[in-house]
Structure 1
Amino acid sequence: MRECVVKEAYGSEQETKFYKVYEPFNCDKGFRFSYTPAGAKPRYYINGLFELKKAYRDFNAQQEKEWQAAHEDGKPYKEQKLPEAVICSGERDSLCCHSMGYHPLWFNSETYQLSADEYKEIMKYVEVLYNIPDIDETGKRKGRELALRFIDIHTAWLPDKLQTYKDNRGKPRKDLRDWLEIHSERKDFRNLLKVAMPAKFWVQYANKDGKPKTEVDTACLYNFLQLNGFYALHDENSAVTQFIRIEGNIVKKVNVKDIREFIRRWVVDRFEDRNILNLVLNTTKLSPAALESLQEIDLNFTTYTPNSQYFFFPNKTVEVCLPCETHPEGFKEYDPGADGLHNYVWEEDVIGHRFKRLPDMFSISIDKNDEGETVLDIDIKNVNSHFFGYLINTSRLYWRAETETRFGEDRTAAAAYLEANPFRIDGEGLRSYEIIEQKQNLINKIFTFGYMLHRYKDFVRAWAPLAMDNKIGEEDECNGRSGKSFFFKVLSFMMKTVKLSGRNPKLMDNPHVFDQVSQFTDLLLVDDCDRYLNLGLFYDNITSDMTVNPKNNRSFTIGFDESPKLAFTTNYVPSDFDPSSEARSLYMVFSDWYHQRTEDNDYHETRTIRDDFGKTLYAFDYTDDEWNADLNFWLQCCRFYLSVKDSGIKPQPPMSNMERRRLKANMGANFEDWANGYFSRESGHLDDYVPRDEVFNDYQRYSNVSRITMQSFTKKLKAFCKLCPWVDCLNPPELCNSGGRIQRAVQVTPELRKTKDMLFVRSMPLNETTEQATEQQLPFGDSDDERPF
């Protein structure tokens, strides 16, 4: 129990007392200290101040006694202040400080606000007031606040190395008592106070002539800047010093002019004398060369862990994480600059909209079918997010069957249905497999969006989204206008993005192709890829480190963990879906819900994203509520990805049309026209052995193309046989030899028989569907063919 003395108000010398009772081992933390008698403790009380005043009186009484003994002439004694007092962070630190021979002061909590009157009261008794804060997050923040409120206070920071030592509970050491356990000599404590500095960055003294002079104290100037968050950023990849300012967890790039203007504004706002302002304006200690000495700092800009992702908003920081017992919804919210957040973010990467949690907009269930395959299904709870509505409509692969075909020529009924069902993934008139495919497509987009938002990179899940059109077109037809690029434009609101134009097929021939990329780049988008752009040249950058060769600077390597995720959009289909591509790609398929009507197509209208919402998304008139709804949906996408990332699930879109488009591209329109005739049911070339060289020569004569290899011809023929509805297969396995070839002896001349490679194209059994396709001669060129592949 400690006795605390309180002076009565109105200058009365009468004293009252209260007692603080300590029970540090009480099982109930709420009773480890208490005050008695009840109501005796004042609201504002500085522990140790009464003892400091007593020490001041005792000190001056002794000094006056000695003065009078030395000055018998009766010259009056002038009271002197004590050399110093030390603000400590609690009773333990204060006991340690007192044991070193110094006068401690402490408050009842770290959040106690020292008033201006209380500060003046303390400074009546001491020359210098020191403060030794704890070096945890709260202690540092409160130490900076106190130093900047009262700029004459000398702050003695404990070294950061102290946190590398552990106390008996295994926690990092953080306070004066911990430090004195390691450095217990009095000289160590004196040295600690010796390096303490105030925020006041000028000193005033008398020169040789006795005139007052004011100078900038360089060490205190840099201490002042550091207290206000100004540092030089450590960057091994740049020879140019980058100055920054840290406010909470937000980092802003600044230049020398910004630093000078900050100090000038600070001096003006404090109404300091004009000579102080002139001192700031005239000093050379704020030049670029001088500021090179500003303390360098190495910051952690990592905004993720393997199982979580941070999103920074002006009003809060949200951590999206795996649902757990303490956070079953998978969201943790932090106030700006809250303790426990050790991740920093660039000011330009703060999402410039306030965030407020909304109810979930969807839920995705995971189950197994009878074959043991994983099946995902989505339940749409609401479509308050416009972006969610956009994703739904770009996933409607069978929208024409739903909104046009079943209504025939009744456009009025079709328009009424569209108005009543603007965002319907399981629309009326769709068959069950069509609904399943559309849901599969939507889940794939949600998964991909969440995957891209999670900045953590894992070698096992090193994928690059590849966005393609679902619509089947003729050879070299570039569909586009389906909303693919908009998907990644929206991602750029949440991620630092570098965009490259993929229209140049020789893009990767440029040695400086990645010169805009840095370790702070989140997304590298190769947009609108040309048909002949070799995406395989990017594969190493997807799964390993990335080498950047900037112009007029030395090249450097960004490690896999910090390198950006890649994404591609294309109006064409990749030439091959080989295992290497599939391992690195996260395919995305966009329906032609958004399209452009032309004289060359059969669309009834032109439809854009704006048409669905009556406004341009994310333009100046986009409301705060609309932004908040989209932000909630985006974070829910990220949560869904985190919830399934370790399960091995990789939801892919329906790839039937993609495979068709690839095969059509491999075949080509010229070959398709020839093969339709050569292998028609009436041709006599089906279900029979046909010499391969004769077939090859016939195609050469038809196409007038002489420079084609047998290998290329065979690739085209295989594509045709896979697509043609009346063809079952090419070269049935039971007819092939051990080498996979069909060989037969052919009578070349009346005297000569020769063994040749043969082709055998087996036809499908004749039925109504294949008869109709045969008559129309449109086996796979019709873009409205919605038959499941």
Structure 2
Amino acid sequence: MGNYKFNVETLYEKTDNGLDIIKKYLDNCDGFGKALENDKNAFRYRDTDKSASCYLVKNDKGLKGSIGVNYWRVKDFGGDFFTPIGIAMEQSGLDFYPCLKMLYEWFNLDGNNTFFTATVEITTIDDKDKRPLDWFNVVTKEHTQLDIIGTYVTPELAKEYDFLSVEYYEKIFVNKKTNQKNHIKVSATESFPIFCYMPEKTWCKTYAPFSKDKKFKHGYLGKKPVRHVYGLQRVIQKYNAKIDDFNSQIKKSKDDKTTGRLIDERDAYRIPNCIVASGGSDGLNVASLGYDVIWYNSEGEQINYTEYNQLKEICKNIYNLPDLDESGVKYGYEVAEKFWNMKSIWLPKEKLGTSGKDFRDWMKFYKKADLSAVKFQFGNLLTGALKMKFFEKNEKSKRWSVKTSYLHYFLKIKGFHLYYPEKKYTEKTGVQEFIFIRINEHIVEQYFPNDIRKFSEMYLIEKGQPIEVIDLVKNTEQFNEPKLLSMDKIVLDFKNFTEETQTFFYKNQFATISKDGIELKPYKDLKNFVWDYRIVNKTIFAEKASFRHYKDDNCNDRVEILQKDCDFMNYLINGSRMSWRKELEEPFGDFANNKELKEAKQKYHNENRFNLSAECLTENERLIQEKHFLNKCFGIGYLLHRYKIESFAKFIYIMDDAPKESEEDSNGRSGKSVLLNGIDKLLNNHYYINGKSKNITTNSHLLDGFTKENDYLRIEDIDQYLGVEFFYNWVTGPISVNPKTKKPYNVEFHDAGKMAATSNFGIGKINQSTLGRLFFISFSDYYHVKTDKYNEERKISHDFNNKDLFSSYWDEKQWNKFYYFLMECCQLYLSNRDNELQAPQTNIHLTNIQASMGENFMNWCDSYFTHSMIDEDSETKEVVNGTLNQFLLRDDVQKAYTLHAGEKYKKTATNFKRSLQEYCKMKTWTFNPVEYLSADKKTIKKPHTNEKGKRNILEFFYVRTNDIEVAIQEQKELKLGDRPDDLPF
């Protein structure tokens, strides 16, 4: 393989006469498969072609090219032929030699990746060899393959810019492994050309365009100078002596006429245009169009004042030609601002291709044009070049004026743009809304025309411009809104999340959270954009981890608290202490009336102010409290991550854990809302709904103003009688918005923020649909007001020196711990999306059962269901029959409830039975024991004779208590004829 020549002939021979290349690029074209079967079938070469108009031309048609072999082609209906290499160049956007190299590698013609390498010989030399480490030798040859550099680069031009073709180079270096002097000789091959820039004999810069390793594509031999400007000495030597001669004559001239003539002759002799290119390849290509060019060792090394002044002496115009990638634009803007009289040539992106960025890419667009046409097009770019100095003085009228194009270029460099916010949430038929913005290191701020005018005025004052220029800016109409509308518009991506990450923004840097950790970076590394009002007005720095989630030996989710000085985390710890009475009340008896007990209690409390795992608790009690804490952290993390997963769409429902004794016992003051208040410090644009509002379900404009910009939807203090099923469609689908003055619109599922609510009550209707949507977070009653139920009041502030969370007493250190903890919660969620950290459900379930039944029903059950008992007050000691452990006619039971409750609280037959089942679960009683069920295994049916003597088969209820002996006795006394299965149907 190493003997193959690096040319198209060899390539075609090894690719089925070029057919394999055509297949590689056109296999997906519409109709290409049929064209392979029959060359009379046409196919569509491009997706934009309206009809199939291209044909395959086989290699046996006798159409030999300049390479002397037959090969496959594609013929257009208009008569043009496309060669395999031509198709590859067009599809890949590569020049001839890079494309040829790529195809050699693709079809494995490079000898297992060794074909496109230099020939390298390394030998060890002894101490007798006195050549120093910076010794090198370059042997050059006649120029070959200059079309790799550029279409119009000639040997004469290359020599003029000290650009040479290398046969081989050699140098002395120290082998780092052996610490011995080595001699290396690197020889070019036909498939691996090497070039070099050698402006001086003491050093040179090598260039290997086909090197796979970017580190070795460019290299230096000898003692590289600290700074070198390629092409500068050529320009100076070519023009400077004559310019100096003119200047000398002008200085000696004694009359104005002669002086004027000499100045005109000098100016006529000066270089019309000198262009600063971004690199050697671009520089040589620009020079090939007939321009004088200079360039630097790297893009980051730019022209300085000394060099600029040198060129100004001999050049009429100096242009900068930057690349159009991110770094190229950055450096281009820096040069434009540093030399605001210097014009910049910005290549049109539409002529650079998909991945193009520099002048060589622009040249590819005109690869079929002749040299004069390319020169004409580049001349147009010079004519439209821009500079930052946006005002000029007319030498004849002495009047100052603002140049609109230059002004808008100045504003663009300073970050100003015209921005059109997404029109999705505005009237489709209305005028498109726009705003003026300024971007500073990816931070976006809205500006108004007067702000832009003032910014420009202050810039010129700092530049030391005369008062006439400042007045010009103050008075010109160019800063009025209609004039500014011709500024460049910009499209911005503000997305701050992916499926696996979430980003938050602070004053000093931004933070990106993933399951693997929290990464802090400066804003210069930000790829997307962020509105200034989205930036938290606090600094952020790395902290030690606050907690560690782990699995114990029984696969239970557990937590180890690692830090003890984050106030917000400590508040969540106490909101998770479900067994606080066992710690703080039960061991200390009547502490309210005993000073010593009270002091002991206070001492214990101070020592265990924030403790999930007190020694007096059982292992199960500790486990429950740790799970509640992790559940809160997981829920916080879920809300903080904006990415939504359809299979894990949840409504965060924050409630009290302590069961209620009545409907009036709404608990509250347990700290639920503070959790969301904390989230709001980071997600500062939530949409708020008052859950107590009476018209939530009837207000058609409830979500007026809600857009995808809202971080999440917060429903505060959901009313007892507001069914959460009203919100279900918002959880799993798009959210419909009906603004008061605009047309309705939808915020799609993936765009809409997540949802969270707080409530002092449980949920009345619990079913699979409900459980699938809700994620419960429950708070202990550790924090509470003083009532008959509690011996003392305990506020959140009591745990923090009587200071509120988030208040002015927090210093920067505490704010930093708070924000870092929130981001740790986000990391916990991202790490456990397949391990949903649910809260222990016992009390949550009980609270929801109570909500489902209603207080009226529970009160009735408490009085209706009684045991049989002996009436001790009667003389006969008669037995009073109870309703427990008895067969009860269903109709009689429901009538008794309806008579008690009245029309307002009556229940349907289905709801009544469901509520009775839930009541029995709460009491741990058995509703309708299985042994009493009839054949349908669902109900108890027994014969019943009414007061008129009519006998029917009717449904009965049976509520059995946990008294086993009673249950067994009842079963013994049950007669066979009374069993449901033996009913005389």
The 3 A distance-change label for structure 1 pair 18 and 94 is farther
What is residue 578 of structure 2 aligned with on the other side? 397
Counterpart residue identity of residue 301, structure 1: F
User: Which structure has the bigger radius of gyration?
Assistant: 2
CA deviations on 1:13-32 (whole Å, 9 max, x unpaired) are xx987533215367876565
Whole-angstrom CA distance in 1 between matches of 2:200 and 2:359: 31
Q: How does 1:471-490 map to 2 (within 5 A)?
A: 471-473=658-660, 474-490=662-678
Q: Match of 1:364?
A: 549
Contact 1:256–1:287 (Cα < 8 Å) also in 2: yes
2:479 paired residue among 272, 286, 301: 286
Aligned to 2:527: 342
Asked if structure 2 preserves the Cα contact closer than 8 Å seen for 1:4 and 1:17, the reply is no
The aligned counterpart of 2:414 is: 228
Deviation at 1:758, TM superposition (A): 0.7
For residues 48-71 of structure 1, the C-alpha deviation after alignment (integer angstroms, 9 at most, x for no partner) is 22222223337759999xx9xxxx
> Higher relative contact order at CA 8 Å, sep ≥6: structure 1 or structure 2?
1
What are the ranges of 5 or more consecutive residues in structure 1 without an aligned counterpart? Answer: 6-14, 68-72, 166-171, 324-329, 768-789
Q: 2: CA distance between counterparts of 1:707 and 1:393?
A: 38
- Structure 1 pair 700–388 and aligned structure 2 pair: CA distance change class (3 A): same
Whether the aligned pair in 1 keeps the contact of 2:273 and 2:316 (CA below 8 Å) is yes
Gap change, CA 1:27 and 1:424, over 3 Å in 2: same
Select 2:315's aligned residue among 120, 123, 126.
126
| 1:442 and 2:623 aligned | no
Gap change, CA 1:384 and 1:219, over 3 Å in 2: same
User: What SS is found at the alignment partner of 1:695?
Assistant: helix
Q: TM-score, normalised by structure 2?
A: 0.69
Query: Identity percentage over the alignment?
Result: 28
Q: Which amino acid letter does the alignment assign opposite residue 582 of structure 1? A: L
Residue by residue over 1:401-432, the C-alpha shift from the partner in whole angstroms, topping out at 9 and shown as x without a partner, is: 22222332333222212111121111122222
Q: Is 2:656–2:780's contact at 8 Å kept on the other side of the alignment?
A: yes
CA distance in 1, matches of 2:798, 2:239: 76
Determine which of 841, 849, 855 is the counterpart of 1:669: 855
2:956 matched to which residue of 1? 758
Q: 1:332 to 1:677 in 2, by over 3 A?
A: closer
Retained in 1: the 8 A contact 2:735–2:746?
Answer: yes
Within the candidate set 200, 204, 209, 1:20 is matched to: 204
Taking structure 1 as reference, are residues 376 and 31 closer, same or farther at Cα in structure 2, changes over 3 Å only? Answer: same
Task: Report what 2:359 is aligned to.
Answer: 176
The secondary structure found in structure 2 opposite 1:635 is helix
Query: What is the CA distance between 1:346 and its match in structure 2?
Result: 0.7
Is the Cα contact below 8 Å between 2:885 and 2:959 reproduced in 1?
yes
Closer, same or farther: CA 696–429 of 1 in aligned 2, 3 Å: same
Shift of 1:136: 1.9
Instruction: Give the counterpart letter for 2:632 in structure 1.
Output: K
Q: For residues 627-660 of structure 1, what are the alpha-carbon distances to aligned partners after superposition, in whole Å with 9 as ceiling and x for unaligned?
A: 1112221222111211222x2x222112211221
**Map of 1:92 onto structure 2:** 281
Which deviates the most, 610-619 or 229-238?
Answer: 610-619
Q: Distance in 1 between matches of 2:365 and 2:515?
A: 41
User: Secondary structure at the residue paired with 2:639?
Assistant: helix
- Deviation, structure 1 residue 703: 4.4
Pick from 457, 467, 472 the counterpart of residue 644 of structure 2.
457
In structure 2, what is the Cα distance between the partners aligned to 1:286 and 1:400? Answer: 69
In the other structure, the counterpart of 1:721 is 920
Which range is displaced more, 564-573 or 502-511?
502-511
The aligned residue for residue 219 of structure 1 is: 405
- Deviation, structure 1 residue 681: 2.5
Distance 2:680 2:665 in 1: 29
Query: Matches of 1:334 and 1:709 in 2, distance apart?
Result: 60
Alignment of 1:195-274 (within 5 A): 195-206=384-395, 210-235=396-421, 236=423, 237-238=425-426, 239-274=432-467
Find the counterpart in structure 2 of residue 103 from structure 1. Answer: 292
CA contact (8 A) 1:364 1:376 kept: yes
Partner of 2:348: 159
Partner of 1:11: none
Do the aligned residues in 2 keep the contact of 1:3 with 1:19 (CA within 8 Å)?
no
Q: CA deviation at 1:721?
A: 1.0
Q: Distance in 1 between matches of 2:786 and 2:229?
A: 78
CA contact (8 A) 1:595 1:608 kept: no
SS in 1 for 2:311: helix
| Change beyond 3 A, Cα 1:322–1:107 | farther
- Tell me which residue corresponds to 1:745: 943
1:151-206 deviations in Å (ceiling 9; x for gaps): 112122233346752xxxxxx32222222233352233223333321111123324
For 1:21, give the aligned amino acid: K
Corresponding residue for residue 169 of structure 1: none
For residues 315 and 563 of structure 1, the distance between their equivalents in structure 2, rounded to whole angstroms, comes to 29
Give 2:536's aligned residue.
351
Whole-Å Cα distance in 1 between the matches of residues 615 and 215 of structure 2? 62
1:413 maps to amino acid:
A
CA distance in 2, matches of 1:358, 1:596: 35
Instruction: Decide whether the 8 Å contact of 1:133 with 1:143 is kept in 2.
Output: yes
Partner of residue 53, structure 1: 236
Q: Does 1:299 align with 2:492?
A: yes
C-alpha displacement of 1:707: 6.6
Give the letter for the 1:276 counterpart. V
**Whole-angstrom distance in 2 between the partners of 1:223 and 1:301:** 24
After superposition, the C-alpha distances for 1:301-349 in whole angstroms (9 at most, x for unaligned) are: 00011111122222222221243xxxxxx333322222xx321111011
**TM-score, normalised by the number of residues in structure 1:** 0.86
Of residues 840, 844, 854 in structure 2, which corresponds to 1:654?
840
Deviates more, 1:622-631 or 1:77-86: 77-86
1:560-709 alignment runs, 5 A limit = 560-598=749-787, 600-609=788-797, 611-612=799-800, 614-645=802-833, 647=834, 649-682=835-868, 683-703=881-901, 708-709=906-907
Say if 1:135 and 1:158, in contact at 8 Å, map to a contact too.
yes
Q: Would the aligned equivalents of 2:731 and 2:773 in 1 still touch at CA under 8 Å?
A: yes
CA distance in 1, matches of 2:588, 2:383: 88
Alignment match of 1:541 (pick from 720, 730, 735): 730
User: CA distance change for structure 1 residues 724 and 94 in 2, over 3 Å: closer, same or farther?
Assistant: same
- Match of 2:653? 466
What code does the residue aligned with 1:104 have? V
Closer, same or farther: CA 704–315 of 1 in aligned 2, 3 Å: closer
Q: Secondary structure at the match of 1:304?
A: coil
User: Structure 2 counterpart of 1:112, which letter?
Assistant: E
Q: 1:87 is matched by which residue type in structure 2?
A: V
The answer to whether the Cα contact below 8 Å between 1:402 and 1:428 also exists between their aligned partners in 2 is no
Whether the 8 Å CA contact 2:609–2:799 is kept in 1: the answer is: no
Report the Cα distance in structure 1 between the residues aligned to 2:586 and 2:478, rounded to whole angstroms: 77
2:607 to 404, 414, 420: 420
Matched, 1:136 2:329: no
- CA distance in structure 2 between the aligned counterparts of 1:158 and 1:390, rounded to whole angstroms: 58
Gaps of 5+ in 2: 1-137, 139-158, 163-198, 251-256, 368-373, 427-431, 591-596, 869-880, 966-985
Alpha-carbon offset, residue 141 of structure 1: 1.6
Larger deviation, residues 268-277 vs 174-183: 174-183
* Distance in structure 2 (CA, Å) of the matches to 1:17 and 1:58: 24
CA contact (8 A) 2:420 2:433 kept: no
Counterparts of 1:16 and 1:395 in 2: how far apart (Å)? Answer: 76
Which residue in 1 is equivalent to 2:567? 386
**In structure 2, do the counterparts of structure 1 residues 216 and 397 end up closer, same or farther at CA, with 3 Å as the change threshold?**
same
- 8 Å contact kept, 2:920–2:927: yes
Note closer, same or farther for the CA distance 1:384–1:556 as it changes in structure 2 (3 Å cut).
same
* Alpha-carbon shift at residue 529 of structure 1 (Å): 1.2
Equivalent residue, structure 2, for 1:327: none
Look up the SS of the partner of 2:673 in the other structure: helix
| Residue identity matched to 1:717 | L
Deviation for aligned residue 1:561: 2.2
